Structure 1
Amino acid sequence: MDAHKKELLNAYKSRPLSGGVYVIRNTQNGRYLLAAETNLSGSKGKFEFSQMTDCCNWHKLSADWKTCGRDAFVFEVLDELTQKETQTPEEFRADLAALGELWAEKLDPALAY
Structure 2
Amino acid sequence: MDRKRELKQQYKETPVEAGVFQITNKQNNKIYIGSTKNLKTLNGIKFMLDNNGFTTSKALQTEWNQLGKDAFTFEVLEKLKKNDDPFVTEKEALAELEEKWLEKVQPYGEQGYNQKQAR
- In the superposition, the TM-score normalised over structure 2's length comes to 0.65
Q: In structure 2, what is the equivalent of residue 58 of structure 1?
A: 54
Identity between Structure 1 and Structure 2 (%): 32
What aligned pairs does 1:14-93 form with structure 2 within 5 A after superposition? 18-42=17-41, 44-49=42-47, 54-59=50-55, 60=57, 61-84=60-83, 87=86, 91-93=89-91
* Gap regions ≥5 residues in structure 1: 1-11
Larger % of helix: which?
A: 1
| Equivalent-residue separation in structure 2 for 1:85 and 1:58 (angstroms) | 33
The whole-number CA distance in structure 1 between the counterparts of 2:16 and 2:90 is 8
User: By how many angstroms is 1:105 displaced?
Assistant: 0.8
Structure 1 residue 85: deviation in Å? 5.5
Quote the Cα distance in structure 1 between the aligned partners of 2:98 and 2:71.
Answer: 23
Counterpart-to-counterpart distance in 2, 1:87 and 1:18: 18
Question: What residue identity is the alignment partner of 1:32?
Answer: I
**Is the contact made by 1:23 and 1:34 (CA closer than 8 Å) also made in structure 2?**
yes
Contact 1:17–1:82 at 8 Å: present in 2 too? no
TM-score, L = length of structure 1? 0.68
SS of the residue aligned with 2:89?
A: helix
Q: Which runs of 4+ in 1 moved over 4 A?
A: 85-88
What residue identity is the alignment partner of 1:105? E
Structure with bigger strand share is 1
TM-superposed CA distance for 1:30, in Å, is 1.1
- Return the letter of the residue paired with 1:55: N
Give the counterpart letter for 1:37 in structure 2: T
Task: Decide whether the 8 Å contact of 2:19 with 2:77 is kept in 1.
Answer: yes
Residue 39 of structure 1 aligns with an amino acid whose one-letter code is: N
Q: Is the 8 A contact 1:25 1:31 kept in 2?
A: yes
User: How many aligned residue pairs are there?
Assistant: 95
Q: Which residue number corresponds to residue 9 of structure 1?
A: none
**Equivalent position to 1:105, from 98, 103, 106:** 103
In the TM superposition, what is the alpha-carbon distance from 1:55 to its structure 2 partner?
2.4
